Structure 1
């Protein structure tokens, strides 16, 4: 989403027509939750871009979109998504500071996919499962599996790039 607020409303209405109100997105359910998740992600990382690489029908009611997603890791990203890395408390402080210096300001590109489930009766998307590989680009930046493990230990995002959703 980029552009004036009135375009957001138009885009949302177009989406609302094709996505079921109770869409299953894996960690959460519902159109409003899906939109809130997307908005949150774009606020947590800078300059989020998603490029469609290909589409493949895998069944009469399922489609997989291959994607390349990219974004920049900012201090806000670190504070809100990886708070344990910038917390003064805890062990391995010097190691965490080194990891932060390796991540801050970096733009990463993630290979991923989105699986869409289609309901012919309602003519709407009823399932939407997204994933993207965060491990590979982070490993390139920090150069060790141990550092990647530290990044995700306590993170509010999963290695497959899904925000951790608190259960009500």
Structure 2
């Protein structure tokens, strides 16, 4: 017999990119500390509301229990990420690696990108994932190389101008 699962308990399992900067690691550590401090208050609230009696008609209890469950899930996810994180370190290589800031030219326009893990991407700020089409194509390349990248069903040639 199969046990019923809540919709919220069904997990969409996707591979997690564990590459992060030291700054992101520190940010997650701080976030984890805040969650650990908030948990006892939520647990106490659930306990207080549970003492009111009938669980099936106690909406405040159900809401508090859901918040506690959500906090526990976020704490588990954050702790897993912290335990398995791969910190991006600069190696000083002349080839494009994670953490490098790369200046490229394509179609007469110059752009600068920083290549980081998927959890830190922000294309508006020029931060791209090493798993993105452009990020993946640039990895391992050197300044001066011309790199073809397929974007939206067309090939764009990028020339690497500088690696920092």
TM-score calculated relative to the size of structure 1: 0.24
User: By percentage of residues, which structure has more strand?
Assistant: 1
TM-score calculated relative to the size of structure 2: 0.24
Q: Which has the larger radius of gyration?
A: 2
